[in-house]
Amino acid sequence: MKWDRLQELNARQAAAVTATEGRVRVIAGAGTGKTKALTYRYAYLVNVLGIDPANILCLTFTNKAAAEMRSRIARMVHSGDYNDFVCTIDGFCVKLLRRDIHRIGFPKTFTILDEDDSRAYARACMEELGIKRTEKTVKDFLAQVSAAKALDDYITTYMLPGVKWTEGMLSSPVACYIHRQMKHYALDFDDLERVANYILDHFEDARTWWQEQLNYIMVDEAQDCNADNWQIVEKLAAGHGNLFVVGDPDQAIYEWRGARPERFTQFASSQDVVLDENYRSTPKILDVANSVISHNRNRIPKNLFTRSAEGKAVIHYHGKNETEEMEWVAAQVRLLLEGGAAPGDVAVLYRASYLSRALEQALLDAKIPYAIWGGTRFFERKEVKDALSYLRLVNDTGDDLSFERIVNVPSRKIGKKFLDGLKERAGREGLPLFAVLKACVAEGGAVRTGAEDFVRMIEEACAAVPESTVSDLLNFLLERSGLKRALREDQDEERLENVDELLRSVRFYETSHGEDDVRLSDYLQDIALYTNQDYRKDTPTVKLMTVHQAKGLEFPYVFVIGLSEGVFPSMRTIREYKKNGEEEERRLMYVAVTRAQRALFLTESEGYNVSTKMSKYPSRFLAEIRRDMFVTEGVMPESLWRGTENMRHVLDEERWGSRVEASEGDPFATERAAYFSPFQAGDTVVHDIFGTGTVVGVNKEGSTFQVRFADGSTRHLRADFLRREDLPE
Ligand code: ATP
Ligand code: MG
Distance 584 CA to ligand 2 centre (A): 18
Q: Which ligand is nearest to the CA of 594?
A: 1
Q: Which protein residue has the closest C-alpha to ligand 1 atom 17? A: 280
**pLDDT surpassing 80 at residue 630:** yes
Q: Please give the Cα distance from 694 to 680 (Å, whole number).
A: 9
Q: Mean pLDDT, the chain, as a whole number?
A: 88
Which pLDDT does position 666 carry in this prediction?
33
3-state SS string for 699-712: CCCCCEEEEEECCC
Cα-trace Rg, the chain: 28
Listed range (69-78, 318-327, 470-479) with the worst mean pLDDT: 69-78
Verify cis geometry, omega within 30 degrees of 0, for the bond prior to 301: no
Of the options 3.40.50.300, 3.40.50.920, 3.40.50.880, 3.40.1190.20, the CATH number for the domain spanning 314-369+535-636: 3.40.50.300
Taking ligand 2, which is a single-atom ion, which protein residues have CB atoms under 5 Å away? Answer: 34-35, 552
- Which of the residue ranges 106-120, 347-361, 682-696 has the most confident prediction, judged by mean pLDDT? 347-361
The pLDDT-based confidence of 41 (bands split at 50, 70, 90) is very high
Q: Are 530 and 370 in contact (CB under 8 A)?
A: no
Q: Of residues 688 and 389, which shows the higher confidence score? A: 389
Assign 22 to helix, strand or coil.
coil
Residue range 289-340, pLDDT digits in tens: 999 999 998 888 888 889 988 899 999 999 999 999 999 999 999 999 999 9
Q: Please give the Cα distance from 713 to 692 (Å, whole number).
A: 11
- Is the CB of 242 within 6 Å of ligand 1? no
Assign 504 to helix, strand or coil.
helix
Residue range 387-431, pLDDT digits in tens: 999 999 999 999 999 999 999 999 898 888 889 999 999 999 999
Question: In terms of CATH, what superfamily is 380-516?
Answer: PCRA; domain 4 (1.10.486.10)
Domain spanning 4-95+197-277, CATH architecture: 3-Layer(aba) Sandwich (3.40)
Active site residue 459: no
- How large is the average pLDDT for residues 226-234? 94
- Is the CB of 530 within 6 Å of ligand 1? no
Which pLDDT does position 426 carry in this prediction?
94
Beta carbons within 8 Å of 554's beta carbon, 6+ residues apart: 31, 280, 595, 596, 597
- The CATH number that domain 667-724 falls under is 2.30.30.140
- How large is the average pLDDT for residues 113-131? 88
- Which of the residue ranges 50-54, 126-130, 216-220, 518-522 has the most confident prediction, judged by mean pLDDT? 216-220
Beta carbons within 8 Å of 97's beta carbon, 6+ residues apart: 106, 110, 187, 192, 195, 196, 199
* Strand 614-615 to 608-609 pairing: antiparallel
**pLDDT surpassing 70 at residue 660:** no
Which pLDDT does position 404 carry in this prediction?
94
Q: Please give the Cα distance from 276 to 262 (Å, whole number).
A: 20
Listed range (9-13, 30-34, 438-442) with the worst mean pLDDT: 438-442
Q: Which of 9, 10, 26, 35 to mutate to test the pocket of ligand 1 (most atoms within 8 A of CB)?
A: 35
**Domain map of the chain by residue range?**
4-95+197-277, 111-184, 314-369+535-636, 380-516, 667-724
**pLDDT surpassing 50 at residue 526:** yes
Q: Of residues 47 and 596, which shows the higher confidence score? A: 596
**pLDDT surpassing 60 at residue 670:** no
Within the chain, how many helices (H) and strands (E) appear? 30, 22
Beta carbons within 8 Å of 588's beta carbon, 6+ residues apart: 253, 351, 547, 548, 568
Q: pTM of the entire structure?
A: 0.83
- Orientation angle between helical segments 34-47 and 11-18, nearest 10 degrees: 50
- Is the CB of 277 within 6 Å of ligand 1? no
**pLDDT surpassing 90 at residue 614:** no
Q: Which of 244, 280, 553 to mutate to test the pocket of ligand 1 (most atoms within 8 A of CB)?
A: 280
Q: Which ligand is nearest to the CA of 60?
A: 2
Percentage of the chain beyond pLDDT 90 is 56
**pLDDT surpassing 70 at residue 655:** no
Q: Are 30 and 38 in contact (CB under 8 A)?
A: no
Listed range (131-145, 187-201, 380-394, 521-535) with the worst mean pLDDT: 521-535
The reply to whether 4-95+197-277 and 314-369+535-636 are identical in fold is yes
**Phi then psi for 511, rounded to 5 degrees?**
-60, -40
- Is the CB of 247 within 6 Å of ligand 1? no
**Phi then psi for 678, rounded to 5 degrees?**
-65, -30
Q: Of 592, 573, 591, whose CA–CA distance to 251 is shortest?
A: 591
Phi-psi region of 713 (alpha: psi -120 to 50; beta: other; left: phi over 0): beta
**pLDDT surpassing 80 at residue 502:** yes
Distance 29 CA to ligand 1 centre (A): 10
Listed range (80-84, 440-444, 453-457, 573-577) with the worst mean pLDDT: 80-84
Q: Of 436, 371, 374, 429, whose CA–CA distance to 403 is shortest?
A: 436
3-state SS string for 23-45: EEEEEECCCCCHHHHHHHHHHHH
Nearest-atom index, ligand 1, CA of 29: 2
Element holding 56 (H helix, E strand) = strand 56-60
Which pLDDT does position 574 carry in this prediction?
84
